[in-house]
Amino acid sequence: MTGPAAAARAEGATAAEATVGWVAADWAAADPEAAPRPVREELFLLAHDEHRGFRPRVHRPALALGLAAAWIVDLLRAGRLAADASRVSLSDPRGLPPVRDAETAGALAAIRGHGWSLPHPAALRVLAPGLYEAVRDAAVAAGHLTRADRRWRRPAYRLDHPRLAVRARSRARTAATGGDADPAAQALCALVGALGIQDTLYFHLPAAEVRAAVDAATRRLAAADEPAVAALAHVAAAARRAVGDLATAVYR
C-alpha cells in the first residue's frame, strides 16, 4: 500500500479506514438537494459516463491526478493546507478542529513526511496513489454506486443517484458561463478543463466553444482578488500540466 493510505495506516488506522473510511461518511450523507459535495466527489462523478456503464472518460492514472488536485482543493477550503502559485504547505493546526478521518490524517502525514511544503506537482504525486479506488469504493459502500461482477471482465458500475451528477454538472456549468458560482464550483470547472472532459458539461454545443468557456472560467479564477481563491486555479493548472506530461510520457 502506498500514498496517503499507507501514511494513515502507519499512524494507527486500520486497512479499511485507510481505503474507504475517509470518504464513506461524505458519500453516506450525500443528498442531491443538500449542500454541494466535496470537489473530489463531484469531479469523480463528472469524470464518468453515467449513461454508458459509468465508464471513466479518461485513463485512471490521469483521473487520479485530477482527484489529487481536487483533494488539495478540499483541504485548502478546510484550512488544512495553504497554497500559492507554486507550492502547497501544511497550515498551522492550532485553532483548527482535530482531524477525525483516517485518510485526511494520512494525506497530511504524507505531505509532512516530505517537509511540510511541496511543489504542486510533487503534492499531486504524493496524494494520487490509491485515490481513485478509495473514492469509488466509498461510493459503493454508501450505496451510490452498485458494483456488478462479471466473469473474465472488470466489474461494471451503475450510478444509483443520477441527481448527484446532475448537480455537479450544473455547478461546473454555472462557473463556465460566468454565473454566480462559489470558489469550489469554479475549481471544479477548472479541474474539468485540466482533465479535458469539458464535453461532459454540454451535449449540444461545439467542443471548441465549451473548451473556450472553461478556459475563460479558469482565467477568472486565477485573477481572483483573494489569494486563497486564486490558488485554486494554480492547483488546477498544475493538474493540467501533470496530465499533459502523463499523456506524452509514452512517446519519450
Q: How far is CA 93 from the centre of its chain?
A: 23
pLDDT digits (tens, 9 = 90+) for 27-77: 555 454 465 588 999 999 999 998 887 889 999 999 999 999 999 999 999
- The confidence score (pLDDT) of residue 83 equals 92
Q: Cβ contacts of residue 169 below 8 Å, gap of 6+? A: 46, 200, 201
pLDDT digits (tens, 9 = 90+) for 146-185: 887 777 777 788 888 888 899 999 999 999 999 999 999 9
Q: What's the burial of 89, exposed, middle or buried (CB within 10 Å: 0-12/13-18/19+)?
A: middle
Question: DSSP readout, 152-182?
Answer: TEEEEEEES-HHHHHHHHHHHHHHHTT-S--
- The confidence score (pLDDT) of residue 32 equals 45
- The confidence score (pLDDT) of residue 30 equals 45
pLDDT digits (tens, 9 = 90+) for 83-135: 999 999 999 888 888 888 777 888 888 888 888 899 999 999 999 999 999 88
Segments of 54-213 assigned E as strands: 55-56, 81-83, 87-90, 117-119, 145-150, 153-159
Kindly list the domain boundaries of the chain, sorted by start residue.
4-249
Question: DSSP readout, 27-54?
Answer: HHT--TTSSPPPHHHHHHHHTEETTTTT
Cα four-point dihedral sign 27, 165, 187, 31: negative
- The confidence score (pLDDT) of residue 8 equals 43
pLDDT digits (tens, 9 = 90+) for 183-226: 999 999 999 999 999 988 876 788 888 899 999 999 999 999 99
Closest CA to 226 of 74, 66, 84: 84
Q: Which amino acid is at 250?
A: V
Phi (first) and psi of residue 233, to 5 degrees = -70, -35
**How many other C-beta atoms lie within 10 A of the C-beta of residue 188?**
32
- The confidence score (pLDDT) of residue 201 equals 87
pLDDT category at 16 given cuts 50, 70, 90 is very low
Q: Rounded mean pLDDT of 6-14?
A: 41
**Measured between alpha carbons, how far is 137 from 147 in angstroms, rounded to an integer?**
9
- The confidence score (pLDDT) of residue 115 equals 81
pTM recorded for the entire structure: 0.84
**What's the CATH class of domain 4-249?**
mainly alpha
